[in-house]
Amino acid sequence: MRAAVKLWHETDPWSAKARNTQINYQDKVSPLLMWSEAAGHPPLHQITRSAARALIINMRDRPFQAHGVLWAAKKIMSYAVEEGWIQKDPFQGIRVSLPKAQISLWSQHDVDLYVEAAHTLKLTSIARLIRIEWELGQRISDVVSFRRGKEYDQAKGCFRFWQQKPNPISNSRRGLSFRRIWPAITSYS
């Protein structure tokens, strides 16, 4: 399994992914590698469909993680099939039923309450993070990597950062994004 993961990491589609995306994908691969290690790292051709199904079934209490692991397994195995390492992907045809996502969108009032609560607890960095997330809509992993004085220009009142996912504002796939933060945010220092 380790060799198949390494093969995937050497592909152009993998290397073209943003670093945060690669980290997110690794979270899906880690349980797969732990499973392989627990089984003594069997050769890929010895992984049976029933063993693959058992891995996914044993994660049924974590359906979103199971779905991610299954996605990664299918991706990795597709490269192994393509290279001729195995004839057939043992994960092919296995499905994971996901519960209906329960997304709750925060209103401006919700955000204000959470920011106020964070300030009350003297968690100003959390208050800033909530406000930045609300205003920019960036991934949490992107926002926490912002550096003081680098991505936010207080004089201009805007964030400036490299965008590597689809940008709904400009409809571009990648590029430099400028996002003005409205007066609700007065300081990031």
pLDDT at residue 148, as a whole number: 63
8 Å CB contact between 17 and 75:
no
Asked if residue 16 and residue 57 are part of one domain, the reply reads yes
| Whether residue 173 is found in the same domain as residue 113 | yes
Looking at residue 187, its pLDDT comes to 45
3-state secondary structure of 178: strand
> pLDDT tier at 186 (50, 70, 90 boundaries)?
very low
- Cβ contacts of residue 107 below 8 Å, gap of 6+? none
**In the chain, how many domains are there?**
2
User: Is 70 within 8 Å of 98 (Cβ atoms)?
Assistant: no
Supply the pLDDT for residue 15: 79
State which residues form the domain around 17. 2-82
pLDDT in tens, 28-56: 889 999 999 999 999 999 999 999 999 99
In a domain? residue 49: yes
Kindly state whether residue 8 falls inside one of the protein's structural domains. Answer: yes
Q: What element of type H or E holds 163?
A: strand 158-163
Task: Tell me whether residue 150 is in a domain.
Answer: yes
Residues 64 and 123 in one domain: no
**What DSSP character marks residue 4?**
H
Q: What is the pLDDT of residue 126?
A: 85
The pair of structure tokens assigned to 91 is 């994960």
Question: Which residues neighbour 67 within 8 Å (Cβ) at sequence distance 6 or greater?
Answer: 96, 98
Give the residue-averaged pLDDT of 50-79.
91
Least confident of 65-79, 110-124, 133-147, 161-175: 161-175
C-alpha to C-alpha distances, 11 to 15, 66, 79, 173, nearest whole angstrom: 6, 24, 9, 20
- Is the domain of 6 the same as that of 70? yes
In a shared domain, residues 71 and 139: no
What DSSP string describes 35-72? HHHHTT---GGG--HHHHHHHHHTTTTSHHHHHHHHHH
Residue 72's contacts (CB-CB under 8 Å, 6 or more residues apart) are 25, 28, 29, 32
Q: Which two tokens stand for residue 87?
A: 């004839």
Q: Is a pLDDT exceeding 50 seen at residue 174?
A: no
- Is the same domain home to 68 and 119? no
Is residue 58 situated within a structural domain? Answer: yes
Q: Three-class SS of residue 102?
A: coil
| pLDDT given at position 103 | 67
Residue 149 contacts residue 139 (beta carbons within 8 Å): no
**Per-residue pLDDT at 82 exceeds 80:** yes
46 lies in a domain?
Answer: yes
73: pLDDT strictly greater than 90: yes
Domain contains 145: yes
Does residue 26 lie in a domain region? yes
| 77 and 22 both lie in a single domain | yes
Average pLDDT, the chain: 79
